């Protein structure tokens, strides 16, 4: 499958580009990778762990709204919250200590949760950061205040976040009557169509690369936006997509760590030395594309095997298999990401995260 996207000339893209979608990109990249390998025994091990989590109810879609900082109610405001946080959901690691931290509600948050805390804090303080009419004109000084830290560190790529937020706000204001809900309505309940709209009109979502002469796409933030909508609304209303299985994992710098830890992925000697040495890896370079593409492919294989295990369990116990039907890359990715948060010390010792500074993750 390919994306065929018409880009407005003002975005300085060629008028028409043919790009492999994330699923086909993952297959192509993993089939040609020389620095990263996928291992069947690791897939088997992790699939069993995920099956058990799904059966126990600890990894279901309903868990999304139970987090401290995510919207607890699936409504229109939740849609705008998801859009803003996923616009800015990238590059939280710092070059050195201290890590970026945000204080909110008497607690300290780091990483993605620091972003969520900063957005929620701004809304509580009277700056409606969920309104495109507000953030299309937000100043850089306001952004600095919104994302002020608890320890004096600065959120990475602050200026790029400011420009990304402003640009998206202006697009919503000019084209979609100031609301991301109107973008969702245009996708006609198609996850793939929503990805195309995001890439067409919101440049910061264009998480693409050229690998072995082929245009491939990873689309971490665009896909996680769809995944968050689906999770928040539990596949209904604004989160209903008839092709949700077209969404793959969200290839960031954390999920690959867990896959290496469980033996799903392995790096060759050169890549291992680069990652363990803390060297920055070029965004769009072969090393980075192989890590992320093989991550996507590995998750696809884990989803497939987990579904089989769930179906086998249902058959052996002579019960229906609704969990197998709803198991997808979104739930698997969420499980893996959360697992890393809960076992950070062990995972980080197993394999550090790879470092790439960019807008895409």
Pairing of strands 36-38, 265-267: antiparallel
- DSSP lists the bridge partners of residue 20 as 2
Residue 315: which pLDDT band, with cuts at 50, 70 and 90? confident
* pLDDT score recorded for residue 15: 42
Which residues touch 328 (CB under 8 Å, ≥6 apart)?
Answer: 244, 245, 247, 303
Residue 51: which pLDDT band, with cuts at 50, 70 and 90? very high
- DSSP lists the bridge partners of residue 102 as 109
Collapsed DSSP state (helix, strand, coil) of residue 332: helix
Residue 256: which pLDDT band, with cuts at 50, 70 and 90? very high
On whether residue 357 sits in a domain, the answer given is no
DSSP state of 316: H
* pLDDT score recorded for residue 119: 99
Which residues touch 160 (CB under 8 Å, ≥6 apart)?
Answer: 359
Segment 12-38 shows an average pLDDT of: 86
Q: Hey, what's the torsion of the CAs at 56, 62, 68, 74, to 10 degrees?
A: -170
**pLDDT per residue as tens digits for the range 82-129:** 999 999 999 999 988 789 999 999 999 999 999 999 999 999 999 999
**Both tokens of residue 37?**
């390998």
Q: Please provide residue 48's backbone torsions phi and psi, each rounded to the nearest 5 degrees.
A: -65, -40
Q: Hey, what's the torsion of the CAs at 52, 53, 57, 62, to 10 degrees?
A: -140
**pLDDT per residue as tens digits for the range 191-245:** 999 999 999 999 999 999 999 999 999 999 999 999 999 999 999 999 999 999 9
Of the listed ranges 13-17, 140-144, 277-281, 353-357, the least confidently predicted one is: 13-17
* pLDDT score recorded for residue 316: 76
Q: Examine the pLDDT at 1 and tell me if it is beyond 90.
A: no
On whether residue 313 sits in a domain, the answer given is yes
On whether residue 112 sits in a domain, the answer given is yes
Determine the structural domain holding residue 95 and report its residue range.
Answer: 2-350
Residue 100 to residue 159: CA distance in whole angstroms: 16
DSSP state of 13: S
Distances (CA, A) of 112 to 119, 155, 197, 277, 321: 11, 11, 24, 24, 33
On whether residue 237 sits in a domain, the answer given is yes
* pLDDT score recorded for residue 4: 41
Residue 75 to residue 11: CA distance in whole angstroms: 32
On whether residue 295 sits in a domain, the answer given is yes
Catalytic residues: 252
Residue 321: which pLDDT band, with cuts at 50, 70 and 90? low
**Exposed / middle / buried, residue 44 (Cβ in 10 Å: 0-12, 13-18, 19+):** middle
Instruction: Name the domain count of the chain.
Output: 1
Collapsed DSSP state (helix, strand, coil) of residue 107: strand
* pLDDT score recorded for residue 154: 94
Asked if 110 and 104 touch (Cβ cutoff 8 Å), the reply is no
* pLDDT score recorded for residue 13: 36
Q: Examine the pLDDT at 335 and tell me if it is beyond 60.
A: yes
Q: Is the dihedral of CA 115, 137, 228, 2 positive or negative?
A: negative
On whether residue 33 sits in a domain, the answer given is yes
- DSSP lists the bridge partners of residue 211 as 214
Q: Examine the pLDDT at 320 and tell me if it is beyond 60.
A: no
Quote the mean pLDDT of the chain.
93
Whether the model clears a pTM of 0.85, i.e. scores above it, the answer is yes
Q: Examine the pLDDT at 277 and tell me if it is beyond 70.
A: yes
């Amino acid at each position: 499958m390919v994306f065929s996207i018409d880009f407005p000339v003002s975005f300085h893209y060629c008028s028409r580009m043919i790009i492999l979608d994330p699923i086909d990109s993952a297959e192509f990249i993993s089939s040609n990778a020389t620095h990263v390998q996928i291992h069947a025994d690791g897939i088997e091990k992790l699939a069993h762990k995920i099956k058990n989590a799904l059966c126990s109810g600890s990894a279901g879609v309903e868990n999304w709204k139970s987090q401290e900082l995510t919207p607890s109610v699936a409504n229109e405001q939740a849609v705008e919250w998801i859009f803003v946080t996923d616009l800015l959901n990238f590059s939280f690691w710092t070059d050195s200590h201290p890590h970026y931290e945000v204080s909110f509600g008497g607690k300290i948050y780091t990483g993605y949760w620091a972003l969520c805390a900063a957005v929620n804090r701004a809304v509580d303080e009277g700056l409606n950061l969920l309104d495109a009419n507000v953030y299309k004109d937000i100043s850089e000084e306001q952004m600095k205040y919104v994302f002020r830290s608890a320890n004096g560190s600065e959120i990475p790529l602050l200026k790029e976040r400011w420009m990304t937020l402003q640009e998206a706000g202006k697009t919503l204001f000019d084209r979609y009557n100031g609301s991301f809900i109107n973008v969702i309505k245009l996708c006609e309940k198609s996850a793939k169509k929503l990805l195309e709209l995001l890439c067409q009109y919101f440049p910061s979502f264009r998480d693409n690369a050229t690998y072995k002469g082929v245009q491939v796409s990873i689309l971490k933030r665009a896909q996680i936006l769809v995944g968050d909508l689906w999770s928040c609304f539990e596949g209904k209303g604004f989160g209903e997509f008839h092709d949700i299985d077209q969404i793959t994992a969200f290839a960031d710098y954390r999920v690959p760590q867990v896959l290496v830890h469980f033996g799903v992925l392995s790096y060759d000697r050169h890549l291992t030395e680069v990652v363990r040495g803390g060297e920055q890896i070029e965004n769009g370079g072969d090393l980075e594309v192989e890590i992320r593409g093989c991550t996507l492919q590995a998750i696809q294989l884990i989803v497939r095997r987990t579904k089989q295990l769930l179906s086998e369990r249902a058959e052996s116990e002579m019960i229906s298999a609704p969990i197998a039907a709803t198991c997808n890359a979104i739930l698997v990715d969420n499980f893996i990401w959360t697992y890393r948060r809960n076992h950070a010390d062990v995972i980080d010792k197993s394999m550090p995260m790879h470092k790439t500074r960019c807008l895409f993750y």
